[in-house]
Structure 1
Amino acid sequence: MRGAGHARCAGAKTITLDAARIDPPVEDPVSNVLKWVLLVVAVATFGLLAWATVMTYRAAPPQPEQFVSANGTVLMTDQDIVAGKGGFQKADLMDYGSLYGMGSYTARTTQRRP
């Protein structure tokens, strides 16, 4: 049996595999720079996404606790508003307009009428 650095080929020719003769991979400085640029861009993008999410929730319009008529009668409470939002989402009316309710103008009505 021959040493570990030799291999046998057809036709009784011997090919020597010598680790010292194998060229090491070429170091590509541009590739390393691009890896760092990608990492920085990814971190900055996720940071911007997190910041925009926080700012969106901070700038969201307030939800009143209740609507009261001029004579003091409670027209609706915040629980009614939450239930209405749930019905709006259940009927999938978000695709009909903006986040603030344009879908209520263009979608079929889901309310009961007296």
Structure 2
Amino acid sequence: MASNRGKQTNRPTTVNGLLKSVTVVTLLLSFTALIVGGYWIFENKAPTPLEVVAPDGEIVMTEYTIKGGQAVFQKYGLMDYGTVLGNGSYMGPDYTAEALKVYTESVQEFHAEKKYNKPFGELASDEKAIIKENVIKEIRKYTRKSIT
């Protein structure tokens, strides 16, 4: 009868060592991704203006009132009812897209009245195309780089 007492295998030790190494590497990569991702989110957050001024010089809102609005938004958990900048619930409206739509329509109305003395809806299709192109250029002009 052959005895296996003299033969010892290192297989369990090798497998355990390999599993420990894989676990450590996975944890390091996970935490690195969390830290780098958190830093990236912090650095690329939407800019907050110091103040928003109406054409007549009246201050419409300040950084303080914007942050107050954010606090109310967070206090009542309104992220469950819509999204802002792509973050939030998948149910309900995308407030960023809605605000952009309202802004775009307002600017189109403004330019239609200014250029043609008619509401945007009453313009001919070629006049609407001109207004839309000008509004797109105007909106793209105000990027994050021009705000900061």
Into which bin does the TM-score normalised by the smaller protein fall?
A: 0.5 to 0.7
Asked whether 1:38 is paired with 2:38, we answer no
Verify the 8 A CA contact 1:96 1:103 in the aligned structure 2: no
The answer on whether the counterparts of 1:66 and 1:77 sit within 8 Å (CA) in structure 2 is yes
Q: Is 1:88 aligned to 2:80, yes or no?
A: no
1:70 aligns with 2:61: no
Structure 2 equivalent of residue 59 of structure 1: 44
Q: Which has the higher contact order (CA 8 A, sep 6+)?
A: 2
Measure, in 2, the Cα distance between the counterparts of 1:98 and 1:56.
16
Q: Which runs of 4+ in 1 moved over 6 A?
A: none
Structure 2 length normalisation: TM-score?
A: 0.49
Residue aligning to 1:11: none
Q: TM-score, normalised by structure 1?
A: 0.63
CA contact (8 A) 1:94 1:103 kept: no
Query: Post-superposition shift, 1:71?
Result: 1.5
What is the alpha-carbon distance in structure 2 between the residues aligned to residue 53 and residue 62 of structure 1? 17
Return the letter of the residue paired with 2:55.
Answer: A
RMSD: 2.6
Alpha-carbon distance in 1 for matches of 2:84, 2:37: 16
SS at match of 2:60: strand
Please state how far the C-alpha of 1:26 moved relative to its aligned partner. 5.9
Please report how far the alpha carbon of residue 35 of structure 1 lies from its aligned counterpart in structure 2 after TM superposition. Answer: 0.8
Is there any run of 5+ residues in structure 2 with no aligned partner, and where? 1-7, 88-93, 99-148
Residues 1-41 of structure 1: CA deviation (Å, up to 9, x unaligned): xxxxxxxxxxxxxxxxxxxxxxxx96421221111011011
CA contact (8 A) 1:95 1:103 kept: no
State the aligned residue count: 83
More helix by share: 2
Radius of gyration: which is bigger? 1
Instruction: Tell me the percent identity.
Output: 28
